[in-house]
Amino acid sequence: MPIYNAPLKDMEFILNDVFKADEFWQGNENLAHLDMATANAILEEMAKFSKNVILDLNRSSDEEGGAQFNNGVVTTPKGFKEAFKQFAEGGWVGLGAPEEWGGQGMPKMLTVLADEMIWSTNPSFMLYPLLTVGAGMAINDRASQEQKETYLPKFYTGEWSGTMCLTEPHSGTDLGIIKTKAEPNEDGSFNITGTKIFITSGEHDLCENIIHLVLAKTPNAPAGSRGISLFIVPKFHVNADGSVGERNAVSAGSIEHKMGIKGSATCVMNFDGAKGYIVGKENEGLAAMFVMMNYERLSMGIQGIGAAEFAYQNAAQYATDRLQGRAATGVKSPEKPADSILVHGDVRRMLLNVRANNEASRAFAVYVGQQLDITKYSTDAEAVRKANDRVALLTPIAKAYLTDKALDSALEAQMCFGGHGYIREWGMEQCIRDLRISQIYEGTNGVQAIDLIGRKTIKCGGTYIGEYIAEIREFAQGLDDGLSIKAAVLDVCTQVEDITAFIVDQAKTEPDFSNAVAVDYLHVVGLLSFVYMYARISQAAQPKAEAFFQNKLVLAQYYVAKILPDLAARVQRIQAGADVVMQLPEEYFTAQS
Amino acid sequence: MPIYNAPLKDMEFILNDVFKADEFWQGNENLAHLDMATANAILEEMAKFSKNVILDLNRSSDEEGGAQFNNGVVTTPKGFKEAFKQFAEGGWVGLGAPEEWGGQGMPKMLTVLADEMIWSTNPSFMLYPLLTVGAGMAINDRASQEQKETYLPKFYTGEWSGTMCLTEPHSGTDLGIIKTKAEPNEDGSFNITGTKIFITSGEHDLCENIIHLVLAKTPNAPAGSRGISLFIVPKFHVNADGSVGERNAVSAGSIEHKMGIKGSATCVMNFDGAKGYIVGKENEGLAAMFVMMNYERLSMGIQGIGAAEFAYQNAAQYATDRLQGRAATGVKSPEKPADSILVHGDVRRMLLNVRANNEASRAFAVYVGQQLDITKYSTDAEAVRKANDRVALLTPIAKAYLTDKALDSALEAQMCFGGHGYIREWGMEQCIRDLRISQIYEGTNGVQAIDLIGRKTIKCGGTYIGEYIAEIREFAQGLDDGLSIKAAVLDVCTQVEDITAFIVDQAKTEPDFSNAVAVDYLHVVGLLSFVYMYARISQAAQPKAEAFFQNKLVLAQYYVAKILPDLAARVQRIQAGADVVMQLPEEYFTAQS
């Protein structure tokens, strides 16, 4: 059976040593209730829950075929109900939610780490509370006081859950063409009619009510994305006293049969004149929904880290135990029939690739978490402005670059197992199947890249990335000259500056340019971000003699020597431009060859 | 449902225009029975069989859970029996086998293309005849005349099938430590005892007998790989008249539950003093088995092309049909709610990556096939020597580079579908699950890379790759200066020469060096090979005005502009050396973090 032990020591290192969390929390009156001791205690609790309660349910839920659909009713896999009850009673649903509504008020810097453990051990399970948390954020941000009072406390006790209903069969990335209709009633409510697909947790048996957040078009709404409104559509109507009443006209038509995350119910939802309540203003639904989408997007990055950490731990253990061949430098374990495969450079290469990306990813998630915390808790307007820009810039990296690296990592970890990695019992193949969706949902990674290069870079003339590079360069200049990463970071800053200027310039005359090079640019900014994380990790580790810290300096060298070279390839591709991508006619692609 | 149309036009182009197959065949008395008209007719027949008979069985076999095991008996998926009967009756099992034993005597250049179609449409099905073909080759090469007469004709009628039994629970890559024993009987036969795992087609219901080729150790055999012998162990004893007799003491203990290729029965085989017959000489079993392994390794590359071609066709069709967003250069289809996603550069980038690697892979497989044909059919001793060296060098590329590129391709093709790619009904997720094994079995891709850099490059001081580069350089120098690929190929030749010299030099003093950089070198030689293929494709296409040919010149430009840049990253990684890979202690990898 697969193993998992939460990487608590690395988590503490990142919070405490790299990002000086105590200082940050104590220096902010809204976060002063938290210190490292409390943070560690929370993470230790989650480490136990993830390992002891949900890890085994991950394999068993996949083996039994995942969530089951029968005549509109969805049954979650064996053990999910009990685990969710325990999860909710532990206060985990509202870990990052406002205390006012029954949450724990914990900052994002911390919740990303707790979330990682759930993603490591049971991604299907994670998706049930995740959508609730996202729906809660949208309601907290945009809904009326009465709506907040009605729904939020029920979310954080785990009694009710939430969904986000965006996609329709013909409308995914392009939400401007949705067809779901919202017809106003005299009492101010609306009748919602339409079909939504790919609705995570659209129907299930973990909660007594499900609150759908639905995008729909009111009569005479403007065409395209400016004519979309957001509605609350409860599965069961809510009585005046807050109790659950009659069934609303919304139901699951089926669930999808998927590559992975089979324990998570992905539903087709039919709205047949279901009663809905508008959230915020008419035609401003997309902006309201994006409060939730941005939150989910960071979460997908954490899904990536979680899976890659799980994959790493299992591969490292397997490689240690597996005896095959002998070391090139001479027999290492003469008492055994063969040496551990850890003697082979190629096995180490795979494990180090995974570990180097994992540790950078985790640090980066905490960094973005801290930026989000600044936007939410800081009272310094300029700091909030800067952090908002930074979050805007880095959300596509957090979603897409982290999940791209995570899939690469999980595949390399699987390869360490040889044929055993292909067999279900080791859990590696499920890890890959479950992880793959993270690159696709909540906006494909290609769409993230287009967001990064378009709205976040070209549109502002490179200001966001310019400020980010300035921060990185200043940090690197402060590093000890004895750290070899210093020169690498400064060099990368210059390269990214140059290629960004080239992109901003090309985009002025070539409408197709940005889309054609977007993914390469996403990886450029991802590499910049990770080498920056290794600069911060190196600075924090350098003064500490213990092997745990000194090994981080070696891993940073590994990153520069073996992973950073990808930058050269990405830059060359961007320089090669868009013509060769765009010049073939559309019919070329499907012409019989 | 997934679609598939065999790429017959590209296949003909590669055979006829790029590799001048007619000339090659007609110029060789052993192949003069074949011409392009016959080749095309054979490929057209296979195109029909693959599309009409086995394509639909691919999805249905996966949906029904694949091969079933019940008390030692394996039942293949619904429809496999009938399809296999039709396949065998069509003479497909022996397409490349000697006519003397009932085969069709077709050259490898042609059979790789027929095989590709089966790999495209039903990889699980393909694995049943594939192992028979491999076993037939080993028997033809090493067994006694009597053994050949007993087994080979039955293989090519499809009445009996073959297996290769190498792996044991503790012994995969390192076959020197196998434990299966062969104890001699007085009549010259042996009693075989041991457990073999991951045995493809070890037990099934398609044939009346199964002939296992088993690696085992005789008493007092030398330790390690020099003490391994090869045995024929039939499932049913064969009577003197060639009919099937009593059951032998070999049986399947279970089948594996796998990520993919579920229709293929992967068996644990128990040999309980089963009667076996030695093939060739005692202690020379590994060499005999490698006749078969090398054949399989090229086949795995074809599995890669097949899957990536299937993925491409489905993704290109989906992208054409899917309407989402508008072109950056202005609305393309004003009469539709949105433009085809083919207007977006990022979608084109993915499709072109897949197509560019596919067309190069197919050409490369035919090139290696031609080299194999020279080794088998040529009467020119120097030509045979050169072709043998070339095959030795390129087999790891054919196996590992082609399957690495194929997985990348299948993943990019899946991404073109957005969320629909993650749903089972489109067939993309199954394609990836089925394909993934090609990187793992028949020697993992890491092991292939070590073979390339070690035995095939460092051991001969770079002679093999030197001869290959000389051929490529000479070819490129003969290209029209108007072809932009000319300069690219010549530049790559120099880069690969330089990095090879560096590797050969480093290996003299650093025992760990080659293993640590092996995979990067494999990709270097893969890129060299593919750019060489585009040189040959460009030369053949240049004089032809039809769009089909001229578009190949554009695809070659795409390859140089957008895929070849990976070379820069690979070279940098090799130059960074092995120290940073090897310096951390073994306990680092599993230490609690």
Partner-chain contact B576 A562, CB within 8 Å:
yes
Chain A residues in contact with B198 (beta carbon < 8 A): 419
Of A351, A441, A569, the CB nearest to B419: A441
Cβ-contact B328, A517 below 8 angstroms: no
Coil, strand or helix at A266:
strand
> How many Å lie between the alpha carbon of B314 and the closest alpha carbon of chain A?
9
Does the structure show a pLDDT above 80 at A240? yes
Can you tell me the mean pLDDT for B353-362?
A: 98
Q: Identify which of A457, A180, A444 has the alpha carbon closest to the alpha carbon of residue B341.
A: A444
ipTM over 0.95: yes
Can you tell me the mean pLDDT for B377-383?
A: 96
Does the structure show a pLDDT above 80 at A293? no
> How many Å lie between the alpha carbon of A96 and the closest alpha carbon of chain B?
25
Partner-chain contact A548 B593, CB within 8 Å:
yes
Under the phi-then-psi rule, with left for phi > 0, alpha for psi from -120 to 50, and beta for the rest, what region is A20? left
Q: Identify which of A4, A66, A60, A1 has the alpha carbon closest to the alpha carbon of residue A259.
A: A66
State the average pLDDT for chain B: 97
Query: What is the predicted pLDDT for the residue at A297?
Result: 87
Partner-chain contact A439 B576, CB within 8 Å:
no
Chain B residues in contact with A415 (beta carbon < 8 A): 439-440, 444-446
Chain A residues in contact with B177 (beta carbon < 8 A): 337-338
Find how far residue A204's CA is from the centre of its chain. 23
Alpha carbon of B242 to those of A355, B93, B133, B237: distances in Å? 58, 20, 20, 9
The pLDDT confidence band at residue B322, using thresholds 50, 70 and 90, is very high
Which of B422, B435, B453 to probe by mutation at the A interface, max A CB count within 10 Å? B422
Dist. CA A545–CA B239, nearest whole Å: 74
Burial label, B284 (beta-carbon count in 10 A; 0-12, 13-18, 19+): middle
Chain A residues in contact with B586 (beta carbon < 8 A): 320, 340, 342-343
Instruction: Kindly list the domain boundaries of chain A, sorted by start residue.
Output: 460-580
CA-based nearest residue in chain A for residue B509: A329
Cβ-contact B182, B276 below 8 angstroms: yes
Dig out the tokens for B210 from the structure: 């199964």
State the average pLDDT for chain A: 97
Dist. CA B460–CA B465, nearest whole Å: 9
Dist. CA B356–CA B414, nearest whole Å: 16
Q: Which residue has the tokens 């039709």?
A: B86
Of B422, B572, B577, the CB nearest to A259: B422
Query: What is the predicted pLDDT for the residue at A593?
Result: 65
Helices within B322-380 (DSSP H only): 345-377
Does the structure show a pLDDT above 90 at A492? yes
From B45, B442, B510, B586, the catalytic residue: B442
Of B327, B446, B589, the CB nearest to A320: B589
Q: Which residues of A are catalytic?
A: 442
Question: Residue B164's beta-bridge partner residues?
Answer: B213
The Cα diameter of chain A in Å comes to 85
Question: CA Rg, chain A, in Å?
Answer: 24
The string of pLDDT tens digits covering residues B471-514 is: 999 999 999 999 999 999 999 999 999 999 999 999 999 999 99
What is the DSSP secondary-structure string of B455-521? IIIITTTTHHHHHHHHHHHHHHHTS-TT-THHHHHHHHHHHHHHHHHHHHHHHHH-TTHHHHHHHHH
SS3 labels along B382-419: HHHHHHHHHHHHHHHHHHHHHHHHHHHHHHHHHHHCHH
Find how far residue B473's CA is from the centre of its chain. 27
CA-based nearest residue in chain B for residue A348: B581
Cβ-contact A215, A198 below 8 angstroms: no
Query: What is the predicted pLDDT for the residue at B293?
Result: 75
Chain B residues in contact with A569 (beta carbon < 8 A): 565-569
Does the structure show a pLDDT above 90 at A290? no
Cβ-contact B439, B403 below 8 angstroms: yes
Dist. CA B177–CA B297, nearest whole Å: 22
Dist. CA A369–CA B298, nearest whole Å: 48
Alpha carbon of A9 to those of A114, A129, B247, B511: distances in Å? 13, 26, 59, 34
Partner-chain contact B584 A554, CB within 8 Å:
yes
Q: Identify which of A430, A381, A255 has the alpha carbon closest to the alpha carbon of residue B258.
A: A430
> How many Å lie between the alpha carbon of B124 and the closest alpha carbon of chain A?
15
Dist. CA B250–CA B202, nearest whole Å: 10
CA-based nearest residue in chain B for residue A449: B346
Can you tell me the mean pLDDT for B327-333?
A: 96
Question: Any idea what the Cα angle at residue A266 is, between residues B260 and A296, rounded to 5°?
Answer: 105
With pLDDT > 70 as the criterion, what percentage of chain B qualifies? 100
The pLDDT confidence band at residue A288, using thresholds 50, 70 and 90, is confident
CA-based nearest residue in chain B for residue A322: B170
Partner-chain contact A440 B346, CB within 8 Å:
no
Residues A204, A205, A209, A211: what is their CA dihedral angle, to the nearest 10 degrees?
A: -20
The string of pLDDT tens digits covering residues B504-548 is: 999 999 999 999 999 999 999 999 999 999 999 999 999 999 999
Burial label, B220 (beta-carbon count in 10 A; 0-12, 13-18, 19+): exposed
- CB burial readout A515-533, b (16+ within 10 A) else e: bbbbbbbbbbbbbbbbbbb
pTM score > 0.90 for this model?
Answer: yes
Can you tell me the mean pLDDT for B256-279?
A: 98
Chain A residues in contact with B591 (beta carbon < 8 A): 548
Partner-chain contact A319 B348, CB within 8 Å:
no
Cβ-based neighbours of A588, under 8 Å, separated by 6 or more: B547, B551
Does the structure show a pLDDT above 90 at A291? no
Cβ-contact B442, B421 below 8 angstroms: no
Query: What is the predicted pLDDT for the residue at B593?
Result: 65
In chain B, helix, strand, coil percent, each to 5? 60, 15, 25
